[in-house]
Chain A
């Protein structure tokens, strides 16, 4: 049995000598970067394609949304407010050269939510809570022009197209892994979508300012809404990249700069809101 022996085997020949954390960092970093790039490309592409959906189609698509929109108010006072909002929107639309096929439908909600929103098919919802915080028609017009600008640039359908494309891609990719990986993938993948709508917000702000200038020939009170929000907010602002809207301070500053560049000879006078617009 002399020709058989068990020599001592050196340690570490069967295991790659990489540190587990280094391996982890490389994999997470590399794959995150890849997903970010892929999602970015995909959402840009989807957004480009969605832009070409005819407005007619968009409005038909929005038909299924209508149950989420506020119904035509029953109270005469509320109906009066809605009519006023619709007229204001139409006036702004003319000032913004909205293409004739893009029709705006303004909905009034008596809820005290401090918000206004634009969605598919040219629907705009304005909440009483928002109107109550605004000092003048100019301030309201700024918010509405902002929403109209979203519709004009087809932001709602672009956002929907991007959202669907990215969601489909991520869920099909995440199907490979287990639950934990799915979460991580979706978390990473949603980042660029959020920051994209940020640039859309900035575009809408710029357009709204132009519309204000054309309608009232000054931009006084344009920052009123953001100033109100900034006053209300006592807690710190969320991280810029995670929020869809640009920081309020940033927006107020931008509006102020625009106002200075457009300084007119006469002191700007704001048009007051009609009495019936304020809640009792």
Chain B
């Protein structure tokens, strides 16, 4: 019985704090995306007019933890299948945050655009029993600025 109460408390805590963190994070992401809109990002490998530009490798990475509630809902999803919407928003946040951090690095280098964008995902604690998992996203690409 105490185990059940503990479980429900963890679930509630996971939900309340997880939802709050997510809401705040999305708000901050949308704001920062507006301020970094002038840095353009492309997945194109060949950089146009590359003889007039110099390239610098820039990267940004982020690790976001799954809350208890999301983890439980996802484990139920595992039984029946379907879209794991609790993880969709998690990965969306991680992807956008990583790109933002990469753009930030590009701005500090004086670049105006990032070409050849690449994204990598990794799950931290993969396979570890009873550990709340976390997801890592790395974004990297070639930032370009006018050759001086």
Please say whether chains A and B are actual partners in one complex: yes
Residues of A within 8 A of B (CB): 1, 4-6, 8, 11, 14-16, 18, 20-21, 23-24, 27-28, 30-31, 176-181, 183-184, 187
A5 with B85, Cβ < 8 A, contacts A15-B92, A27-B73, A183-B4 known = no
Do B72 and A181 touch across chains, with their CB atoms under 8 A apart? yes
A6 with B40, Cβ < 8 A, contacts A16-B85, A183-B3 known = yes
A-B contacts, 23 listed (Cβ < 8 Å): A4-B40, A4-B42, A6-B41, A14-B92, A15-B89, A15-B92, A18-B85, A20-B69, A20-B86, A21-B15, A23-B86, A24-B72, A27-B73, A27-B80, A30-B80, A31-B76, A31-B80, A176-B79, A177-B78, A178-B129, A180-B7, A180-B72, A183-B4
Chain A: CB-nearest residue to B79: A31
How long is the Cα–Cα vector from A14 to B15 in the complex, in angstroms? 21
Do A184 and B83 touch across chains, with their CB atoms under 8 A apart? no
Chain B positions within 8 Å of A21 at CB level: 15
Chain A: CB-nearest residue to B10: A180
A1 with B48, Cβ < 8 A, contacts A15-B85, A16-B85, A183-B4 known = yes
Chain A positions within 8 Å of B42 at CB level: 4, 6
A178 with B75, Cβ < 8 A, contacts A1-B48, A14-B92, A183-B3 known = yes
Do B76 and A27 touch across chains, with their CB atoms under 8 A apart? yes
Chain B positions within 8 Å of A183 at CB level: 3-4, 7
Q: How large is the interface on B (under 10, 10 to 19, 20 to 34, 35 or more residues)?
A: 20 to 34
Interface residues of B in 1-34 (CB under 8 A from A): 3-4, 7, 10, 15, 19, 30
A187 with B4, Cβ < 8 A, contacts A16-B83, A178-B129 known = yes
How long is the Cα–Cα vector from A233 to B15 in the complex, in angstroms? 41
How long is the Cα–Cα vector from A27 to B84 in the complex, in angstroms? 11
Chain A: CB-nearest residue to B30: A11
Expressed in whole angstroms, the minimum distance between the Cβ of B40 and any Cβ of chain A is 5
7 more contacts with CB within 8 A, not counting A1-B49, A180-B72, A181-B76, are A6-B37, A16-B88, A18-B85, A20-B85, A176-B78, A178-B130, A184-B4
How long is the Cα–Cα vector from A171 to B22 in the complex, in angstroms? 35
Do A179 and B73 touch across chains, with their CB atoms under 8 A apart? no
Chain A positions within 8 Å of B113 at CB level: 1
Chain B positions within 8 Å of A181 at CB level: 72, 75-76
Chain B: CB-nearest residue to A14: B92
